[in-house]
């Protein structure tokens, strides 16, 4: 059975098209999941709304606990890592990670960054051994067959590869880098642009992004995602 980890991180409640001032990324992630379930109704969906309930940020106690070998951890360390452990458990169960990540000031929302910081865990999602010369770090999810779908939105336009604002788009690249570090390299994406223009260009961008999102869902289900939807 396929498992989807469905993550929303927008601060906006609701979905655009259904609620005034609703979230475009929530709209796209819901669109992906609905289309995938049409194709495979037996799919399990784990939902995590980090926009409404952000994970706690990493603290000094968290770092101390995470880098202490499990047999040596004190009782307070288990408490410090409890939320992170739950988030990692969800990630490990997932075959497909569908992440709604709007652009906030050219990068991901802080609440999504907090989620990333909690799932990058030594001994669970990446390995570290200082005695390995030249390769002290290695990905632990490399052979898990996981796929990542990044569905974004931005107020301006032209943030795609080769476009006018590509150089200040730190959303897809930063998220992709973290997952690649963990061993997840199959990444696909779509985005809505022109949000702040609120005109026919936004309407067209929404329609195009929904179409692209459905094609990604169909491609992932069939094992053949269209090349133009792959995020390099």
Q: Locate the domains of the chain by residue range.
A: 3-229
According to the annotation, is 104 in a ligand binding site?
Answer: yes
Question: Which of the residue ranges 101-110, 140-149, 202-211, 218-227 would you say has the lowest mean pLDDT?
Answer: 218-227
- Rounded (10°) angle between helices 24-39 and 200-222: 30
- Mode of pairing for the β-strands spanning 186-192 and 147-153: parallel
Looking at residue 156, what is its pLDDT?
97
Looking at residue 82, what is its pLDDT?
98
Q: What single-letter DSSP state applies at residue 194? A: -
pLDDT at residue 77 greater than cutoff 70: yes
- Reported as a single tens digit per residue, the pLDDT across 2-26 is 999 999 999 999 999 999 999 999 9
- Rounded (10°) angle between helices 110-119 and 82-93: 80
User: Residue length, the chain?
Assistant: 232
For the chain, the maximum distance between any two Cα atoms, rounded to a whole number of angstroms, is 60
- Reported as a single tens digit per residue, the pLDDT across 24-65 is 999 999 999 999 999 999 999 999 999 999 999 999 999 999
Q: What are phi and psi of 93, to 5 degrees?
A: -75, -25
pLDDT at residue 226 greater than cutoff 70: no
According to the annotation, is 106 in a ligand binding site?
Answer: yes
- Reported as a single tens digit per residue, the pLDDT across 161-198 is 999 999 999 999 999 999 999 999 999 999 999 999 99
Question: What fold, for 3-229?
Answer: Rossmann fold (3.40.50)
Looking at residue 51, what is its pLDDT?
98
Looking at residue 163, what is its pLDDT?
97
């Amino acid at each position: 059975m396929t498992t989807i980890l469905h993550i929303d991180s927008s601060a906006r409640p609701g979905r655009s098209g259904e609620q005034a001032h609703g979230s475009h990324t929530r709209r796209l992630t819901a669109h992906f999941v609905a289309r995938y379930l049409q194709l495979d109704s037996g799919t399990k969906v784990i939902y995590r709304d980090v926009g409404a309930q952000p994970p706690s940020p990493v603290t000094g106690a968290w770092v101390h606990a995470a880098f202490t070998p499990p047999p040596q951890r004190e009782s307070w360390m288990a408490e410090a890592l409890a939320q992170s452990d739950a988030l990692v458990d969800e990630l490990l169960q997932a075959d497909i990670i569908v992440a709604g990540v709007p652009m906030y000031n050219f990068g991901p929302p802080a609440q999504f960054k907090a989620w990333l910081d909690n799932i990058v865990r030594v001994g669970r999602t990446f390995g570290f051994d200082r005695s390995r010369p030249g390769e002290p770090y290695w990905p632990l999810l490399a052979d898990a067959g996981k796929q990542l779908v990044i569905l974004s939105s931005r107020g301006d336009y032209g943030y795609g590869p080769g476009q006018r604002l590509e150089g200040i788009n730190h959303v897809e690249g930063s998220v992709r880098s973290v997952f690649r570090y963990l061993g997840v390299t199959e990444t696909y994406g779509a985005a809505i642009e022109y949000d702040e223009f609120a005109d026919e260009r936004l309407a067209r961008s929404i329609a195009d992004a929904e179409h692209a999102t459905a094609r990604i869902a169909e491609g992932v289900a069939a094992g053949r995602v269209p090349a133009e939807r792959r995020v390099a």
